[in-house]
Structure 1
Amino acid sequence: MNTETLGEALINYILEEQMIKNIGASLKAIIAGYLFDVIGIIVVSGLLSFTPLKGSYWTYLVISMIFIIFGGYIAASVTRNYRFINAGFVGTIHILWALYMGGYSETLKIFIIQVLAIPLAVLGGIISKKKKPIIRDIEQI
């Protein structure tokens, strides 16, 4: 037998609605950060193909690092809930994208981007937190 009162049922419904909205906002933030990360890397790498830096691994690594930080920053800025988690997901998706694209020919190069992607994305989240301070306890995550 269900002993839940009408007030408790209403509170549970509101909390479930808020949770669904938070998940939707987080997904939008992660997608926005990821798209900025990937599109930025592709565009800048394409523009650098006309320079002597074309094909340089270190140039690609620096560009990747910069855009991973920007992607984490955007993911953390779009939603103010779960900033570091959203930024961390951007780094994780970047790792998966880099492995899928196979842009690295040596094991050391793959290892460097795997080690750096998530911390750099979370660094973008930390920068975002400094720009937009938290206003509720739940936003501290």
Structure 2
Amino acid sequence: MGIRERIGSKQALLVVAGLVAAGVGLWIGRALPTDTATPQVLQGTVSIVGTNGDEFAVALEGGQAGTSFGLGSVPWKDANNSWHDSGPIDCLKPLSKGQHVRFGVVHVKDPAFGTELVAWVDCSNGAS
């Protein structure tokens, strides 16, 4: 076997090894779970906040039907544009109503959580 044949065999082996590695990488990438979601941004006028501040009803803008949402501990932005990791949300105080609110909703398929989860709340758009 000459030098040219040996070099050609090594190059072919490297090409095959590269293709196999790329295929394994693609397979692993597709097999990994994707735990991210982009929230749908909604806004409207609050109809009422529950007595514990853990739920609210809102008349949505843009001709969308009004609906209600449960609230867990979510990040929220105050009227000064400062973000908070948790705690009572300024514009969603218990039994308040009439304030404008903007919020992000993630659609989920788990019936234990309903179909929509509030991901964040923005109180900086004229909310009181």
* TM norm structure 2: 0.29
Q: Which structure's CA Rg is the greater one?
A: 2
Q: By percentage of residues, which structure has more helix?
A: 1
